[in-house]
Amino acid sequence: MKTGGSGAMFNTGAAARGGSPHKFGDQRYASSSSLIDGVEGGPSKPCEAPVQATLVLKDGQRLEGTSFGAKVNRPGEVVFNTGMVGYPEALTDPSYRGQILVLTFPLVGNYGVPSMDTKDRWDLPLYFESDDVQIAGLVVSNYSADPSHWASQQSLGNWLAKAGVPAIFGVDTRALTKGLRERGSILGRLEVEGAPPSPPQEVGFVDPNLRNLVAEVSTKSIRTYNQGGDKPTIVAIDCGMKHNIVRYFVETHDVTLIVVPFDYDLEKNPANLKWDGLFCSNGPGDPSQCRETIKSLQWAISRDVPIFGICLGNQLLALAAGAKTYKMKYGNRGMNQPCVDLRTTRCYITSQNHGYAVDDQSLPEGWKALFVNANDRSNEGIIHVSKPFFSVQFHPEAAGGPFDTAFLFEAFVRHVRGAAPQLTLLDPAIYRNDRASLKRVLLVGSGGLSIGQAGEFDYSGSQAIKALKEEGIEVVLINPNIATVQTSREDASSVDVERHKSEPIADHVYLLPVTADNVRHILDKEKNIDGIIVSMGGQTALNVGIELWRNEDLQRRNIRVLGTKIDAIVATEDREIFSTKLREINETLALSYPATTVEGALEAAHKIGYPVLVRAAFTLGGLGSGFAENDAELRDLAVRALEGGSSTTKQILIDQDLRGWKEVEYEVVRDVRDNCITVCNMENFDPLGVHTGDSIVVAPSQTLSNREYFKLRSTALKVIRHIGIVGECNIQYALDPKTERYCIIEVNARLSRSSALASKATGYPLAYVAAKLSLGQDLVSIRNSVTGTTTACFEPSLDYCVVKMPRWDMRKFQRVDTRLGSGMKSVGEVMAIGRSFEEALQKAVRMVRPGSRGLEGFELQQALIGDERETPGDDLAKRLRVPTDQRLFAVQAAFERGVPLETVHDLTRIDRWFLSKMRRIARLRAAMEGMSDVGNLDLRALRKVKQAGFSDDQVAHYTNCLPDRARRHRLSLNLRPVVKQIDTLGAEFPACTNYLYMTYHGDQSDVEPEDRGVMVLGCGAYCIGSSVEFDWSAVSCVRQCRASGYRAVVVNYNPETVSTDYDVSDRLYFEELSLERVLDIYEQEQAWGLVVSVGGQIPQNLAKPLHDRGARVLGTSPDDIDRAEDRHKFSSLLDDLGVDQPPWRELQSVKDAQAFAAEVQYPVLVRPSFVLSGAAMKVATSDSELAAFLGDAADVSPDHPVVVSKFIRNAKEIEFDAVCRDGTIMNYAISEHVENAGVHSGDATLVLPAQKLYVQTQKQVKRAAAKIAEALNISGPVNIQFMARDNDVKVIECNLRASRSFPFISKTMNCNFISLATRVMLGQNARPFQITTMDIDYVCVKAAMFSFSRLRGADPITGVEMASTGEVACMGADVYEAYLYALEGSCVKIPTKKQADEGKTVFLSMHSPGNFAEEAAKLASLGFTLVGSPGTAKALRLRGVPIEDIPSSTASDWAPAAIELLKSGDVVFCINVPSSDKLNQMADDPSAETNGYRLRTGAIAFGVGLCTNEKCAALLLESL
């Protein structure tokens, strides 16, 4: 296939099918057959004609679905298996003989079936456990007919058809599993439409356990493996022995293995065999059927030859010894059964498949239980007290499953070889419990949210506080992020003191920057702190912990680092040590060399060969990293990383480039007893080369085989044990997509973004468990909080698919490079749950792009084509090849245009399995677009569409009707989503969980509605403008609802939040915040009311549509919300009230807007409605800018008006936050901005109590707010922004919801405004707080946290559209102390006295330097050397300020010389204040790079402190 350069021709689907060739992306699928229920897949046909199949149960149930196996009817015993991989191994396991197997994991067939002809050296099929498919039938939820794997030779359906085994998909396997769990195993029949009549022995319901199944699967002759040489000989009784058992004996332990039939008489020994040990294998059915085997074992017990049994062999050995067995209710079948070794109390994760068990109470004298199941307490093994006889119920050989207990083969072979018995002793660590001696612990937080370190650490820190408080430990917290839940304090004004005592609140909270100096200060001030946790605060906390340890600050104070020790942390952070550690255990690391100089980096790159990956050590989220193709690019990256501010150690790593390989990660947990588990594995949608924080991530992995999954898992356990991690960590791999080769990328020895995702994806509270483990507790003793009955020492089984999708906000920044690479750029993420990949993927798209219909590429592609000289095909190919924040939609556009899957794969290297699912979405869309009316979609077709994740909006759009009509049509067919639980164990155990999601893949809901439910809509993805402050508001609301006697039902989809912790609310729906889904939940829950005012703009925008459809919205009326959100209506209201505002007009056309601007004179402000964080809000200073910005605003809010108003310069901005009841203000707070109006309130520096507001100004603000509150009849929270100049107050905007300043005012005043607002919205008798700002003897300053260092090319200036990613707030005795703390907390590098004494340089460049002369003189008087741009230096010298010109610069192009100065390291701070009239000039000329722009971006690149606002610079100098 040719994929040449410009103008290249590509074969499309039509050409591939033998039609005429088209240009790239010039043909669309439009087959209505995509809407039928047949098996889908392949390039030649979208869908086969469906063949109906039915699973008939003996109790009368009939479960219908679609056949994908052999066209035969078959009876059997219906059982389930909770494994997530390993179907080729399971289906050929003889232990499943005669059983109809239900796989609880809903996505089956993904990696196809390898060849049965591929044999190992023993002539056994390499990938299978016997020579035949052993099951009677297969039942799954979803089947993938388009497998993707290098070893795949055929689809699962084709394989089963050839083997004569029926299979069915489309069944609600979760409901079926729950039924089997409750009733026990049941007989059933698989009946396939058009199948021939069954033979007499298979008519009706036939119990396979009445047959001697072992006789059916056992070998018929004696076979010897690995004969010859001086080896011990083991006789294996084959009751259905798996091939991997043979491999363990002959490959791993090099013994001669003689396999005999199950009925071979050992006593008579007709073949005259000689043996040194006896093995009894696994097998199917009732052990009592194997009388001959039991008889032989009874004879063998009378001798002293070692005996070992597995699975059925355990039961047979017990029967031979004189014990009893019994049939279990439904057996243990899966790969995650925790079994405790009763000799050591160690717990192992095991693979099991059995329906019978040993009654260990019946064991005769001399026999003891060896293992016990940690969940159901059933027997898992027996041992003789004096003779070398033992057996286990599980499968140490795995296949599929984990290899954790393979050491039992070694123990048996040691017996066989006559070695002396080894002592098995308890680990002394079990008597170590740090809890006993711990009284007070310091928890180190992460600080403000930034790209790479976001809200996940609020979640992990809150979980840690909860775990510590449960143990009676006093918690001291340092974290300057005032918006977080973890920095909440006990509310002195709370109406429910007991409630607050039960909440996980730290005993002492220090709102201080997270630095080693501040931690030392706290340790000295807070006496008797005996432990510190540094693993819950991201890289910030980790780096502080390392510094404290290296300086021996902790050792001198006798303070223990809880959890993983610092030496182990350093071993994972220092690449050289890490590489050495891995070599010690023969593990593979991608080629990597550390370097501390540019020359060293070049030398390393030449050793490896280009291209290479450059990474800074000891950083988070790939900061300071990138790919280099040559010396020049490497030199540039190395200089930035070594001389910039990204690395704390000035070490960089030069890594082998493995782009195109798969990226896979595992979350691993280990306790002090060396119990070790993997909680979740995840696979990146994008191939290696895109930072995992910027990649779509799928959990569990979808395209890994059993061999790959468990090989990587075993490596993870080996690495984590060797390093010595205690608690939780993350290991990342690169996996070759064409072989089983892998490399370890890195280990994060702390809680991470992936940890939060894994916790929410599985329901396993990683941070909570890690905190408990840090106290010396063990995994076995901690309970699984979801089931309430099982142990935390287990590996979750998922019966759903999770898709994490990043949220980017790069459109907010001019000139930013949107290409994705090794450095993270996303500001947040969403997590979607479904029972198919398509369902979860489309949910995720709607979550990350609120207002979108779903995954669509076709219309988007039309808008993306830029260069008119390029054809659409060329442009699309380019967008597929280069990873950007828009590539997902380019891929979808390609499929919608008919581009072949192989072409898309070649360009993107995205796995074909993921691409095939996206192609299916495109085909379904095309099929719907071919319909004339939505009514033509019958129940079966519409269910199929909804199961693929299509929203009602999409269905309506593709069938040319309104969304409400599509919804009515769906409901008329009685098609509604069902509610499913996240229960960690694939429905194997009853769950008390309230953790829920909705899906169309099912017939039954797991839960029923309950009374007095209040739905609280959360904040959605963190993004610029909506961050952790809205999660704090939601959690505060939920806690108050529960305290007031209401059931709180949370709807949110952000895995980084505390509100999505399932024990915060009564019910948690991890679901979309779309109108369709919120209505679904509202109707399902029969909710009492909805709260839309605590989650930011996303739920606020739903208020009116929900209200119009009959939902009860609590608090302020949605009609009044609409009056405040609609710019035109609100501006008209202010005019009616006589409340002053800047002159405004609703635009009718660009010409009218320009005429208005001429009337009021530029600058003017363009303001769209119903948006957050000033999206598309711009200050226009010319006609051309105004025309451009009006276009942007229409894009953001096309259905709502855009208002243009006069922008007033040099005005002070004021925040008014309040809680109102029935239009009357109950409590309020007035904060002032340091910056003048023109800087978005989210980026501004806030001061509370206000320090520089006239009393008269505050009175005017209060009067205006009172008028607005009364007019809008506000009941709940409200935020109003004002501007004031010369005591003239004007309203800017009004938000009838919680704002980002609510946690700031609540914590500063120690009164929870959201709790009060919630009581108002619930209609309770709420009393106002008694607040007097005069009594507050401190000042709190909130500063914004920016992530410009992540966004290469972005201009680090602030304006009316928000740019910050987080915030911090610190308190001080006065505004100056608080401001310096806040700046330090927001990672601004403040010039220090030491630097002044050394005469370090401060660089100045300002549009009005004369206004700054007094402050500049102060700076010089402190001892700093001042250097300025030519104009600034000249103006300041005229006013007597000692300032130097930039060396070797020209007046017109001084930036290169300034950047050289920054690079030298002598400049410690840069003050650059551009003209407000010039901020947008690059919009006119995108290629223009002004001197100021280059200076600002240079300061960011080289880690120099930067201030771009004159008011902030003045306050900083006053503070210094």
Residue 915 to residue 906: CA distance in whole angstroms: 11
CB 1250 within 8 A of CB 1258: yes
Sheet of 560-561: strand order equals 508-510, 474-478, 440-444, 531-533, 560-561
- The tally of CA atoms less than 13 A away on the side-chain side of residue 707 is 17
Task: Provide the residue count of the chain.
Answer: 1520
DSSP assignment of 1295-1323, as one string? ESS--TTHHHHHHHHT--HHHHHHHHHTT
Contact yes or no for 969/977 (Cβ under 8 A): no
Question: Do 108 and 87 contact (CB within 8 A), yes or no?
Answer: yes
Q: What are the φ/ψ torsions at residue 132 (nearest 5 degrees)?
A: -140, 160
Can you tell me the distance from the alpha carbon of 1272 to that of 1214, in angstroms, rounded to the nearest whole number?
21
- The total of other beta-carbon atoms located within 10 Å of residue 1364's CB is 25
| 729: annotated active-site residue | no
Among residues 311, 801, 1041, 1340, the one annotated as catalytic is 311
Q: 1057 CB contacts (<8 Å, ≥6 apart)?
A: 455, 458, 459, 1018, 1019, 1028, 1031, 1034
Residues 79/187, Cβ–Cβ less than 8 Å: no
CA angle 271/277/281 to nearest 5° reads 85
* Beta strands 1276-1285 and 1288-1295, pairing class: antiparallel
All residues at 6 or more sequence positions from 869 whose CB lies less than 8 Å from its CB, including other chains: none
Helix (H, G, I), strand (E, B) or coil at 310: strand
Contact status, residue 10 vs residue 905, Cβ threshold 8 Å: no
Residue 397 a catalytic site member: yes
1294 among known catalytic residues: no
Nearest to 1304 by CA among 1212, 1392, 1242, 1226: 1242
SS3 of 336, please?
strand
Biggest distance spanned by C-alpha atoms of the chain: 115
Residue whose entry in the numeric block shows the structure tokens 């143990």: 471
Selection from 1255, 1178, 1163, 1257 nearest residue 1212 by Cα: 1257
Read off the DSSP letter of residue 1457.
H
Q: How far is CA 629 from CA 4, 608, 611, 1065, 1299, in A?
A: 21, 12, 4, 51, 46
Nearest alpha carbon to residue 394 among 382, 410, 385: 382
Given the residues 397, 839, 1367, 1415, the one annotated as active site:
397
DSSP 437-498: G--EEEEE---S-BTTB-THHHHHHHHHHHHHHHTT-EEEEE---TTSSTT----TT-S-HH
Residue 1 CB coordination number (10 Å): 11
Decide: 296 and 237 in contact? Cβ < 8 Å: yes
Task: Record the tokens describing residue 239, joined without a space.
Answer: 């009751």
CB within 8 Å of 351: residues ≥ 6 apart: 83, 334, 335, 337, 394, 395, 398, 399, 400, 401, 402
Name the amino acid, one letter, at 347: C
Closest C-alpha to 534, from 578, 454, 478: 478
| Rounded Cα gap, residues 1052 and 1067, in angstroms | 11
| Exposed/middle/buried for residue 632 (C-beta within 10 Å: 0-12, 13-18, 19+) | exposed
Q: Which of 149, 243, 354, 395 is catalytic?
A: 395
CA distance 1453 to 1439: 24
Q: Hey, which residues are catalytic here?
A: 311, 395, 397
